[in-house]
Amino acid sequence: MRSEPCGRPDVEVLLRPDKLNYTAGEIVTFGCPPGETIIGRTYALCMSGSWNHWIDSFCAKRKTVRITGFNESSGRVEVFHTGAWSMICDDHWDINDATVVCRQLGFTGSISAMGISSLEDMETQPRVSNVACSGEERQLLDCEYIYASDDKCSRTKVAGVTCYAETGDVRLVGPFETAGKLEVYIDGDWGTICNDGWDMTDAGVACRQLGFPAAVSAHSQAREEKGLKRMGHLACNGSENRLTDCTFSRLPTCVYSSDAGVRCIDRTEVGLLSDTGCMELNSPMDLWDYNNQINMTWYYRAVSPTADISVRFLTFGLAEEFDYIQIGTGNNSADESSLLITTSGFYLPDDVLSRSNSIWIRYILDHNGNSPGFRAIISVDLCLCQGNSVCLI
């Protein structure tokens, strides 16, 4: 009996994205770009036609700033740089720098930028200095700064902040910038959100409020500690700027015991195509993890600025009433004029050609399991990719 190949798993974490097919007995290894950490499994084994377990791994950026000392909103600022946490010299440290730190951590802003503590008894010297933020940056490492392993502060204090929160502020709890459990600031304290009715529309509002362009998934996270739920029974329509603009209940009685979690998009590209390169895209189908709702966008760019990119569907099945695919040209999926097609159903769509060296693909799923999903090839030259005799013009 012949062993069937497994194809290429559609995950962001492939160490060899150019390899399209794995045969029985082969192991695919996952990894992340520098500065990111893999969440989930680190490898999978190809059995006969299928992987030995469902592949749901993804990469997430570690949080790069934290407050230590007095409490969660006031204390010494530390930044994660080159694999370690470092204090910051308070040379030139000002309210603009402090505002970026506070906003990155989910607070509305800063009350003060201060120098705290003496350096005389500290075992390690700060390695970050001369921070110069405009106040508009999304994170501290977007600002100008100096990093040196043997840096010496010209003064005897390190940078500190006091942040303040306003009703409706949200933050991600955990070690990652783009994924985690959500907390909301209501009635003078932080608390979690009921997962009752939590969906992709709600998650999209939360991610935009956090400063990200969109949500990848809305999921539930088991409660790890006791704490007050501040919000529940959310019903966002997607146009809101903040979660508190949605309809919700305060101090709700939750039907389920889990908290609302989210994973937000923080990438502009997930695929880089050479002149002869091909990538296979498979729709995620683990609906339990996605709460039966998916809103994902993939971006691909060709190395050559004059290349076109084509998409060919190998399998396709999306329930017309609920689910659909959108494909557009360029690298801005929010630009309605870039849209090339919107399609659903249970037939193979025609090949799609982007007269641009970049393309985006959006997958919308909102159902209870009636869509088998899709497989597609993305390439600069589909003929080279599949050995097809019929090519796009």
- Tell me the pLDDT tens digit for each residue of 184-212: 998 888 888 888 888 888 988 998 888 88
Check residue 392 and give its pLDDT.
Answer: 40
Mean pLDDT score of the chain = 78
| Residue numbers in the chain where pLDDT is lower than 50 | 1, 121, 268-269, 285-292, 387-393
Q: How far is CA 218 from CA 10, 210, 213, 221, in A?
A: 19, 14, 15, 10
As a 3-state breakdown, the chain gives helix, strand, coil percent values, each rounded to 5, of: 10, 45, 50
Residue with tokens 């306003």: 166
Distances (CA, A) of 100 to 7, 126, 136: 44, 19, 7
Query: What H or E segment, with its residue span, contains residue 71?
Result: strand 65-71
pLDDT at 40: 67
pLDDT at 221: 67
Task: Give the C-alpha separation, 204 to 252, whole Å.
Answer: 22
Q: How far apart are CA 14 and CA 387, in angstroms?
A: 24
pLDDT digits (tens, 9 = 90+) for 32-91: 666 677 776 777 788 777 777 656 666 777 788 999 877 888 989 999 887 788 888 888
Chain-centre distance for alpha carbon 108: 22
Residues, the chain: 393
Question: For position 293, what pLDDT does the model report?
Answer: 61
Contact 224, 192 (CB under 8 A): no
pTM of full prediction above 0.75: no
Predicted local confidence at residue 154, as pLDDT: 64
Angstrom CA distances, 357 to 140, 235, 271, 272, 349, stand at 32, 39, 12, 10, 21
